[in-house]
Amino acid sequence: SFDGQREFDYFALALQWPGTYCQRTRSCCPSNGCCRGSDSPTTFTIHGLWPDYNDGTWPSCCSRDSFNPKEISTLTNALEQYWPSLSCGKPSVCHGGKGSFWAHEWEKHGTCSYPVFRNEYDYFLGVLNIYFKYNITSVLNDAGYVPSNTERYPLGGIISAIENAFHASPLIICSKDAIEELRLCFYKDLQPRDCAISSDDKIDMVTSKGSCPKYVSLPEPVS
Ligand code: 5GP
Ligand code: 5GP
Ligand code: 5GP
């Protein structure tokens, strides 16, 4: 049941860089689901696919339906690999209480992706398909931007590599000089578009929103 908030305008695929995210949470939870020390992925993993409005706001919690893990049981193996929860905290879910990272993302954002994705299974499968089709990690690796605890890379070079591959500019968020999150945006037909709202904003948005410096790193996870 879609609760009738105004339909969104576009999607942002939010990806996280475990080597940066886990600098904060690495020691907090040993097993299952969190940062796994030097076993953490050296690829971008999924944070979520977020419906957005062109004015910079977004809808959230668009349905009364709550997350049901059974609906996505055939996707669990892929989701554990590509959409792992790197944090120990149990996030809140829309209608009270706490849930998994997947429950949080589906209820808060996924339910607002209607009618592009019509149910929980459609959403998770759709997100995986977009993630595989627009493989940011391999675009960056192919351009020489590989995980490293010593190298710094020009932010402009990273942005150009992505623009050349997908003909759309991303939004990049840093923690100090390390890339923490990267967003790729899509029209409702799932073709890539700029994440910036207007061309005036473009230079500012790509670079300053996350206040990345001119040279950035892609740290390797450490234990
Ligand atoms: P933060 O305050 O860390 O930037 O964002 C907190 C949460 O707000 C995110 O995890 C996400 O759920 C939501 N959020 C932040 N920025 C955006 C955005 O641009 N679009 C959407 N749809 N949600 C966002
Ligand atoms: P802030 O005050 O940092 O902009 O946002 C505080 C909280 O409001 C954050 O958790 C963020 O996710 C949420 N928020 C900000 N803008 C929007 C919006 O347009 N829609 C929704 N649903 N939440 C928003
Ligand atoms: P958002 O920032 O998407 O609104 O909220 C993400 C929520 O999920 C936060 O409460 C955070 O603690 C929790 N969470 C669990 N695992 C992860 C993860 O791997 N990455 C992020 N960004 N948040 C996670």
Indicate which CATH number applies to the domain containing 93.
Answer: 3.90.730.10
**Nearest-atom index, ligand 2, CA of 53:** 19
Is the residue at 52 inside a domain?
yes
Pocket around ligand 3: residues whose beta carbon is below 6 Å from it? 16, 47-48, 85-87, 89, 91, 101, 104
What are 122-131's pLDDT values in tens digits? 999 999 999 9
Ligand 1 center from residue 132 Cα (angstroms): 22
223 residues of the chain, pLDDT tens digit each: 667 789 999 999 999 999 999 887 655 565 545 677 777 889 999 999 999 999 999 999 999 989 999 999 999 999 999 999 988 878 999 999 999 999 999 999 999 999 999 999 999 999 999 999 999 999 999 999 999 999 999 999 999 999 999 999 999 999 999 999 999 999 999 999 999 765 555 555 555 455 799 999 999 988 7
How far apart CA 105 and CA 5 sit, in angstroms, is: 17
In sequence order, what are the beta bridge partners of 11? 51, 186
Question: Which residues make Cβ contacts (< 8 Å) with residue 201, sequence separation at least 6?
Answer: none
User: Do the domain assignments include residue 221?
Assistant: no
Q: Hey, which residues are catalytic here? A: 47, 105, 109
Our count of domains for the chain comes to 1
Whether 187 is covered by a domain: the verdict is: yes
3-state DSSP: the chain helix, strand, coil percent, rounded to 5?
35, 20, 45
- 94: Cβ contacts below 8 Å, ≥ 6 apart: 60, 61, 66, 107, 108, 111
Residue type, 35: C
Whether residue 17 lies inside any domain: the answer is yes
Do 208 and 32 meet the contact criterion of CB atoms below 8 Å apart? no
| ipTM for the complex shown | 0.88
Quick check: 12 and 185 in contact, CB under 8 A? yes
Domain assignment present for 223: no
Q: Model pTM?
A: 0.92
For the four alpha carbons of 96, 100, 104 and 106, in that order, the dihedral sign comes to negative
Would residue 4 count as lying in a domain? no
User: How confident is the model over 21-42, as pLDDT tens digits?
Assistant: 988 765 556 554 567 777 788 9
Secondary structure (3-state) at 44: coil
| Any domain includes 75 | yes
User: Which residues neighbour 2 within 8 Å (Cβ) at sequence distance 6 or greater?
Assistant: 62, 63, 111, 114, 115
Q: What is the pLDDT of residue 27?
A: 55
> Within a domain: residue 222?
no
Instruction: Tell me which residue range forms the domain holding 142.
Output: 10-216
Compute the distance between CA of residue 7 and CA of residue 196 in angstroms, rounded to an integer.
19
**Alpha helix segments (H runs only) across 98-154:** 101-108, 120-133, 136-142
